Amino acid sequence: MRTLSTEQMYQIIVDKTDQLPSLPSIVYELLALVNDSMASLKAYEDLISRDPSLALQVLKMANSAFYGVPGETDSIQKAITYLGTEKIYQIAITATVFENLEADDSRFFRIREFWQHSFVTALCSEQLALELNFENRSSAFLSGLLHDVGKIVFQIFNSESWNQICAYAQQQETSVFDAENNLNALKHTEIGYRVCQKWNFPKEVLLAIRHHHDYDKDFSSHYSADQVKLIDIVSLANILSHTLNIGHSGYNIRTEVPLEIVERQNISRKRWVDFLMRLRDQLEASESVMASLLEN
């Protein structure tokens, strides 16, 4: 029996994603809007109102404790006016991705906890982008939201291998990424990169997904300064999410903040502590968003 190469195994999994529901065109239209500085509030209202299911989710989240439109509202226009286009983008993109990527629970995978980890990583990425003067905060949020999408694809199409990797990580008290390397298994980062490439997400998002565990690698000669910064942002956000123990994405192990990232991004201890204090306030009500998104 012919042994498949690693490249062939990746391609098989990526090809299987044809069985998943296609991401609706509204995802890409939202990306275009948020990157268009001339886009009007009316353009957002028209786009979201076109999809009744999405409009309902946007209103539910806008009225949650986390986003908190005062007095509650049943108006997309009011929600956009109060929250602004970036927050509306976050709500809409999160609701759409959650709705279109589902997987069965297993010993090491709980879909609710997976999306909670992903959402918190997205929020941390956005706040880090603000702290580190990274201009495209929408890309930071999207990269954080999708950083572990390879894990959900792994769970859907090769759950046996995924559970073996997680069991090994638990037994050895190591990270899933290190377990993948030690077992010479397919890597969730590469699966996520290839799947999101197939879905035509922006290059900087793809690179952040692919490299968010490559703390010790210097990509400055390969990628632009902004691309390197986004990789570091998502790497830190992922570590923060695990450290805060919010959500779950396989087998979690706490990781120290990598010195390489601290030096590259010139983050002092005081700056980091101050940031964590502000971040805590941002995350306190995130559970209400998850409840809104994942309730039956």
Task: Please report where in the chains the tokens 């502000």 appear, as a residue.
Answer: 278
**Residue that is last in its domain, among 47, 75, 100:** 100
Residue 72 pLDDT grade (very low, low, confident, very high; cuts 50, 70, 90)? confident
In a domain, 247, yes or no: yes
| 187 and 71 together in one domain | no
| 40 and 16 together in one domain | no
For 143-160, the pLDDT digits (tens) are 999 999 999 999 999 989
For 53, half-sphere exposure in the C-beta direction (CA atoms, 13 angstrom radius) is 10
Number of domains in the chain: 2
| 84 and 123 together in one domain | no
pLDDT value at residue 232: 96
| 16 and 39 together in one domain | no
- Phi then psi for residue 140, to 5 deg, are -65, -45
Domain, as residue range, for 39: 21-100
Name the pTM for this structure.
0.90
For 29, half-sphere exposure in the C-beta direction (CA atoms, 13 angstrom radius) is 14
3-state secondary structure of 290: helix
| 233 and 288 together in one domain | yes
Does residue 296 have a pLDDT over 60?
no
DSSP string, 197-261: HHTT--HHHHHHHHHTT-TT---TTTS-HHHHHHHHHHHHHHHHHHHTT-S-SSS----PPPHHH
**Residue that is last in its domain, among 82, 100, 118:** 100
How far, in whole angstroms, is CA 73 from its chain's centroid?
28
Mean pLDDT within 54-63: 84
Rounded to whole angstroms, what are the CA distances from 282 to 127, 146, 259, 278? Answer: 9, 20, 25, 7
